[in-house]
Structure 1
Amino acid sequence: MPPLRLAMFDVDGTLIDSQHTIVSAMTMAWGRMGLGIPQPDQVRRIIGLSLVEACAMLLPWASAATHRAVAEAYKSAFHTLRVKPEHDDPLFPGALAALDRLEADGWLLGLATGKSRRGVEAMLETHGLRGRFVTIQTADENPSKPDPSMLLRAANECGLDPAAVVMIGDTSYDMAMANAARAVAIGVSWGYQSLDELHSAGARVVLDSFEQLSRTLDLVIGERPCVPPQS
Structure 2
Amino acid sequence: MADTTFLDRKDITHIVWDWNGTLLDDNHANLAAVNAVCAGFGRAPVEMEYWRSVFRRPLVPCYEELLGRSLEADEWEGVERLYDSSYLEHLHTCALTDGVPDVLHDWSGHGGTQSLLSMAGHDHLVPLVAERGLSEHFTRIDGRRFATERDSKAEHLVRHLDQQGIDPAGVVLIGDIDDDARAAHEAGANALLVATGLMARDRLEATGAPVVDSPVAAVDALRGR
- TM norm structure 1: 0.77
Of the two structures, which has the highest relative contact order with CA contacts closer than 8 Å and spacing of 6 or more?
2
Deviation of the 1:103 alpha carbon: 1.4
Aligned 8 A contact 1:170 1:189 in 2: yes
Aligned 8 A contact 1:151 1:162 in 2: no
Q: Which residue matches 2:46? A: 39
Aligned 8 A contact 1:147 1:180 in 2: no
CA 1:154 to 1:45, structure 2 compared with 1: closer, same or farther past 3 Å? farther
Please tell me the root mean square deviation across aligned C-alpha atoms, in Å.
2.8
Deviation of the 1:134 alpha carbon: 2.0
Deviations 1:21-77 (A, max 9, x none): 11112222333x343334133444566747656545534622232122211222222
**Residue number among 160, 165, 168 corresponding to 2:166 in the alignment:** 160
Deviation of the 1:190 alpha carbon: 2.9
**Residue number among 170, 175, 184 corresponding to 2:190 in the alignment:** 184
Q: Write the mapping of 1:17-96 to structure 2, written as runs, cut at 5 A.
A: 17-31=25-39, 33-41=40-48, 42-45=50-53, 49=57, 55-56=63-64, 58-59=66-67, 61-65=69-73, 66-82=75-91, 87-96=92-101
Output the CA distance in 1 between the equivalents of 2:89 and 2:171. 36
Structure 1 residue 101 corresponds to structure 2 residue 106: yes
Output the CA distance in 1 between the equivalents of 2:222 and 2:132. 24
Deviations 1:137-161 (A, max 9, x none): 3233353664511221121011122
Segment drifting more, 125-134 vs 135-144: 135-144
Output the CA distance in 1 between the equivalents of 2:147 and 2:170. 20
Percent identity between matched residues is 25
- Corresponding residue pairs, total: 212
Deviations 1:139-191 (A, max 9, x none): 33353664511221121011122112111012112112211212111011333
Output the CA distance in 2 between the equivalents of 1:98 and 1:48. 27
Output the CA distance in 1 between the equivalents of 2:166 and 2:207. 24
CA 1:111 to 1:141, structure 2 compared with 1: closer, same or farther past 3 Å? farther
Aligned 8 A contact 1:10 1:169 in 2: yes
**Residue number among 196, 200, 222 corresponding to 2:202 in the alignment:** 196
Aligned 8 A contact 2:41 2:67 in 1: no
Segment drifting more, 181-190 vs 4-13: 4-13
Aligned 8 A contact 2:59 2:151 in 1: no
Structure 1, gaps ≥5 residues long = 220-231
Segment drifting more, 39-48 vs 127-136: 39-48
